[in-house]
Structure 1
Amino acid sequence: MSLSLQAQNIFGTWQNTAYQMQYTFTQEGTYQFSSTQFGQASGNYLLQGGYLYLYDANNNPSVQYYLSGITAQQLHLTDVNQVQFTLDRVGVAPEVKGMEAFSKSKYPRVLAGSGKQQIIEADARLYAAAISFLVQTNIPEIDYKKIESALIKDFKTDAASTMTDLQALRSGMEYIFTLHDPVEIGLVRQQILGNIYWMSVVNKHASVYWDVTDSYTDVIAFDETNKLVLTQKDLDDYLDYLSLAYQNYGQQLTAAMRSELAQQMVSNFAAFRLEDKQLLACGSLLKDNLVAQMNAMSSREQQQFQQHLQQQPPSVDWSGADMDADMVKFMMEMNNMSHVSMMNVIENMGGGDDYWELKQTDDYGNIIW
């Protein structure tokens, strides 16, 4: 199992001497800017879809760049006027917070070695954390031991490939720890889980890593074209999310509507639009984020939040004869409108700065949700 993700991050300080400008980006999603020509600025930033969005101190959109390339030492940006420029890293990249849980100093025990290459307990703990991320629950010690034994066997069979996979895994986990948007996190999880399912189940390439993962997941639908899976937990959590969203609009998602909608989602999963399938796979993250944001609101803020949403409620007519079409329309409309609307209202009310972040790992390096 490996995580093949674009893992270079922009944390740290970058400068362009020609324009006499400097940016500093933090893992927490904040930035500072200084320039002899344009002065100073600070606020939040978001990396999404190949673009770098900067927001001012009041969270208003400020600057947008296209991220045309990034290496360990250079950041290539293109502004809205198609002006391209390069920023050079100042010093070394800071260590990604969260990865210290898998450091050699914490888990130094050597598992196997060959020449100058060796694998240590920290490597196996990293695999366990990656699986915890995929299944969204902590992996107990009995499963960790299976992972450790499998890693040792892989190393003894092909040390070079195992070390390559470990480097990809470490880079991928570093990338995951940099994400804040629940949809981005969900899409990364979906990308990994879908590819592992395709390789292990569809292509029948069995592995202990998949066996452990499979013991915690119940895949109920698979889109082979896009390598997207739908698990029972994702479906249940997504329906909980829709129900909560619908409730905030002042309406109710009945048990009958929920049951019919679940059947439609499973039966038609492969035929849904790509963005709808991807959002389905983010159900648990979306639900947890919305619940956390609402719990952080006072009663008055919750009332204001709901009043904002109810100014434009979903327009699905449930009284029509074509119940299946109504169900699909409902899901599409909620996907198109509700998530964006709710999160925008939360942002405008001053919440959501911690839109989503991976929580601290436990003593075994597992990600705790």
Structure 2
Amino acid sequence: MEKPKYRVALLGLGNRGWSHLAGFIANEEQFELSAVCSSSGDKLQTVKNRYAGCLTYSDAEQMLAEVRPDVFCFATPPSVRLSLVKLAARYGVKAIAMEKPIANSMQETREIGRLIREHGIQTVVCHQHKYLSSFQKLKQFVQSGDIGDIVRIHGKTRGWLYNSGTHFVDYMLWINGGIKADWVTGHVHGKDKLDDSHPSPAYALGELHFANGVTGIIECGYLSPSYLPSDRFWTDNRLTVYGTHGYAWAETDGRWGAFTRHSGGQILEGQEALWSPAVKDAIQADYTSDLADWMNDPGRLHACNFEISEHGYDILYGICASSLDHARIDLPLPQELNEDIIERMKRELRD
């Protein structure tokens, strides 16, 4: 049976917007790029020149009202996510592809979750690095049992909490089979990133306890260990899994390493492709293809589904709240909790 082709409307033509666009174009048998919206006339002209038949808009609601797409993809700052999800619900969108983090506040995150569940919108959040060959190599070591049963997971990134930290808490959940955390403790400090477009403490350190007994440690920000030169800042990160019979790790810059029950006492190391525009487009294509598979078959849950990202948001919120409250934070967080943790950190953290 022939698979349906889904009509896509894309909002935003910054760096990430072009990456999403490339992902849909790479899957043209499954998606049709029907319309693009941007505040930049020059970028819209580039789209017109490259993609004949793609409509262009400067107003997102007008685009959705006239095009009525199946998929609404928006690569925009987190401060406007909720308003765009409301538009998606209003105009009957079937699927949403959004950037991370979900939002800048717990209240908005909860409202977004309510809307997509109420309207049955399949939603993915772009934590796309798990499609990297280095991360797939790590997953093979874990799933094969070559390092034994998982004991501890350590995620570290030089980027700050709600920028790169959202990625790495997601990857910790992913590599642990989607098992959720039942409590967190944390430390945060530093106010200089709290007014960033992805507001965060300058440094965050958290301990997670997963429901299957695995321990997780996550570090985000300037004090996290540095393994790469300063010009590779955004790929200076690592996900390490420790097992009962060894360990394995992977970085977004393509490096990986392992010490396993079958490595003969040797530390294995490898280098996949360095992070580059070509690598970025390749993994975006895989991420986008999986969205079509999920839309075709709801049983094929996307690896970057909204639920895992929503739980990751709870974890990061809990790390911040734990630091301020000097207490363990149990998960899931109470549904009535809507405190603005960013504003609270602005008030309570030292300069």
Under a length normalisation based on structure 2, what TM-score does the superposition of the two structures give?
Answer: 0.27
More helix by share: 1
